Structure 1
Amino acid sequence: MLSSLNIRHMRVFVAVAEQGSFSAAAAALGLGSPAITATIRQFEDVTGAALFDRTTRHVSLTVTGERFLPIARRLLGDFEEALGDLDALSKGIGGKIRIAAAPSVLTRILPGVIRHFVAEHPDARLRLDEMNAGEVHEAVANNEADFGIAGEWQDLPDIRFSPLFSDRFGVLCRADHEFAQQSEIAWADLFDQPFVGLGPESGTRAMMADQGFGGATPPAAATPMSAAVTQAAALGVGAAKAVVGSAAKLDRAMAKVARGAKAEHAKDTAKTSGDLAALGLVAGLRPVVETSNTVTLAAMVAEGVGITVLPELAARIATGVSDQNADAKLTFVPLCQPVRHRPIGVITRDSKSLSPIARIFLAMVMEQAPKLDLPAAIEWA
């Protein structure tokens, strides 16, 4: 029966084919010639095919043997690779790691770490998926990623958020905009500026909503919620319901402002209270355009559609703006009164432990990332 054949038969067959004789194959494998002869005879008896033409001095492959040889080599190679992966996994030096991360993390944080990692662990393989914060959390929760690195979105069961670093919110505007000449901009100064922003599925948008900032419009002309978020909320998903609730809270605040608040009064009060959420200054941040992609957002700003608010690292990655690039078309200016930061952290599942190689990579992220030369004012946790 074919089931009686095993990897030993493949090894002996390939050795005889490559050495050209039974005795030479026996010496290469460290076996006796009778064992080699018996193995090949059993192989041919079970398959019903002659694999070698034998003479007194030489052994050559038959046509069937020639056709089977590359298959046997591939099977042996796959077997050796599988054993190598298994050994590497057990020792924590190899295997596959699936990582979901925000675009700014993938383009600026991870490449430098990965360069060191693959040099030390050449047998490891990494899969990187670019996602927004909500998608990263969902991917980890659904076991589609071993861990994630993104902003703090909404609470999900079994999900742990461990802070890694934070970067400051600021305004991204054209270099010829009045804001571009300032060293800092108060949130109140954004009132009634043309604004483009990220959708509610974004970690940045969700965070701004939680803190009382960020684009929504009065209930009479509300910006449509992301279909995915709306559907998830209807199904009772807690995270999505929280996002919808935050948007509704913003709508009520803006309706109040729209009924009589004046921009100048809002600015004056903001400077004394520092509580923009209470003032409902989100009325001045109604998105003319809403998108899920920061590169698209930067293109809208460059075209003069409006300004936007982004964390510093995300803004600089999306635009290529650096501290040394004085001729850049876009400018990033930090926001103040109050100063707000976006926390970025590692997202893992409490109920699932990481593989040895994933733990090694994550430890390297924690060690190497703070040493990177990044074009942003980052505060490491």
Structure 2
Amino acid sequence: MALKIELLRGFAAVARSGNLSDAAGILGRTPSAVSMMLKQLETHLGEPLFETDRKNRLTALGAFVLEQAERELQQYDTMVKAIEGYAKATHGHVRIATVPSVAGTVMPLVFSRHISDFEHVDIELRDMDSISVLHELSRERIDIGIATLGQNSSGLHSQHLLSDAFGVICTRNHPLAQQRGKIDWDMLRDERLIANSLSAGINAEPSRILHDKALLKAQNLTSIMAMVRAEIGVTILPEMAARAANAPELVFCQLADSRATRQIHLLRKTDTALSPAARLLEKHILTCAAELTEGGLS
């Protein structure tokens, strides 16, 4: 018959305690049940494991079996703990890529509230643009993606995370900052626009005309904000991107055009099941994003 781990655990308990009664208490079994386990093990091996019936002196075989059993029991218990931890989302590895604005707003809220849920989980967080997020998902280099959907989104499961309205970013002393209400495209006709890849994606004809005339283009958020701060021009960014930039000396003025909104989705491969830890992280992301949206991003 196969040598069962329970028999080794029972023998090790007796060998450590030196008697059946104490071993039975450790194992939560009766002394007679522990005695039966020892007999089964000795029958399987064909040799006695103890010198006497008092169970306080090991034979040479008993000493060898105890040495091997303790090593195997430790490895077995470690394996069981790892399996159970993975199943309960307390162990594992989660790779997530997100657009920078979510990385700077939603994710800090998620981890500040729920980091204790992931004490033994290896979490890799990267921020990148939406195209790169979709690319990494298609190559299965990440488990969870947070981005705007594009043409290369086939084979992905998407769940709407939040809507992010675009607005004009300018200095506090800029005339646009003194306007009451939202900004119309006509108000930007004579402004020097610092274009960027996010604002270029707004699906509205006035926006395309404005971007076609723009002589300044920048991709890095730090560079964009620095130019606005220097009063070189104004830029158009989603509210979360402006918030993540943490520039209190600048003002976010929302655009009036309802088309000037980007939709951010929580993404994963359709044919790939998430680990328990990844599912738990996904749940926390959805909850925190909903709270931010309900509470207002400004």
TM-score by length of 2: 0.68
SS in 1 for 2:196: strand
* Contact kept in structure 2, 1:52 and 1:59, CA below 8 Å: yes
The answer (yes or no) to whether the contact 1:160–1:348 under 8 Å persists in 2 is yes
Q: Secondary structure at the match of 2:81?
A: helix
Q: Which residue of 2 aligns with 1:151?
A: 148
Q: Which runs of 5+ in 1 are unaligned?
A: 46-50, 199-203, 213-274, 322-327
The percent of aligned pairs where both chains have the same amino acid is: 25
Matched, 1:318 2:236: no
Distance 2:163 2:256 in 1: 16
Q: Give, in whole Å, the separation in 1 of the partners of 2:15 and 2:250.
A: 67
CA contact (8 A) 2:88 2:276 kept: no
User: Match of 1:32, SS?
Assistant: helix
- Opposite residue 33 of structure 1, the aligned amino acid is S
Whether the 8 Å contact between 1:149 and 1:345 is mirrored in structure 2 is yes
CA distance in 1, matches of 2:242, 2:288: 22
CA contact (8 A) 1:161 1:345 kept: yes
Q: Offset of 1:376 from its aligned partner?
A: 1.8
Shift of 1:126: 7.2
- Cα distance in 2, alignment partners of residues 329 and 65 from structure 1: 72
Contact 1:150 1:345 in 2 (8 A): yes
Query: Could you say what secondary structure the match of 2:255 adopts?
Result: strand
Q: 1:173 aligns with which of 141, 160, 170?
A: 170
Do the aligned partners of 1:163 and 1:344 also contact (CA within 8 Å) in 2?
yes
Alpha-carbon distance in structure 2 between the residues aligned to 1:290 and 1:112: 26
Secondary structure, aligned partner of 1:290: coil
- Other-structure match for 2:38: 36
> For the residues of structure 2 that align with 1:190 and 1:19, how far apart are their CA atoms?
87
Does the 8 A contact of 1:99 with 1:126 survive in 2?
Answer: no
Q: How does 1:55-74 map to 2 (within 5 A)?
A: 58=56, 71-72=71-72, 74=74
Q: Kindly state the Cα deviation for residue 109 of structure 1 after the two structures are TM-superposed.
A: 2.9
Q: CA deviation at 1:169?
A: 0.7
The answer to whether the 8 A contact 1:168-1:340 is kept is yes
Deviation at 1:56, TM superposition (A): 6.0
Query: Unaligned regions of 5+ residues in structure 2, if any?
Result: none
Per-residue deviation at 1:65? 9.4
- For 2:263, which of 326, 338, 343 is the aligned residue? 343
How many pairs align? 286
- TM-score norm. by structure 1 comes to 0.56
For residues 114 and 42 of structure 2, what CA distance do their matches in structure 1 show? 45
Q: How far has the Cα of 1:315 moved from its partner?
A: 0.6
Aligned pairs for 1:1-381 (under 5 A) are 7-8=5-6, 11-12=9-10, 14-16=12-14, 18-21=16-19, 24-29=22-27, 30=29, 31-33=33-35, 35-36=37-38, 39=41, 58=56, 71-72=71-72, 74-85=74-85, 88=88, 98-110=95-107, 112=109, 125=121, 127=123, 129-131=125-127, 132-183=129-180, 184-188=182-186, 189=188, 191=190, 193=192, 195=194, 197-198=196-197, 204=198, 207-208=201-202, 211=203, 275-276=205-206, 280-291=209-220, 294-295=221-222, 297-304=224-231, 306-319=233-246, 328-336=248-256, 340-354=260-274, 362=282, 365-366=285-286, 369-372=289-292, 374=295, 376=297
Question: How many angstroms does 1:336 deviate by?
Answer: 3.6
Q: Deviations over 1:86-141 (max 9, x none)?
A: 6548xxx986654432233244335555677678x779947352332122222332
> What is the distance in 2 between the residues matched to 1:6 and 1:329?
69
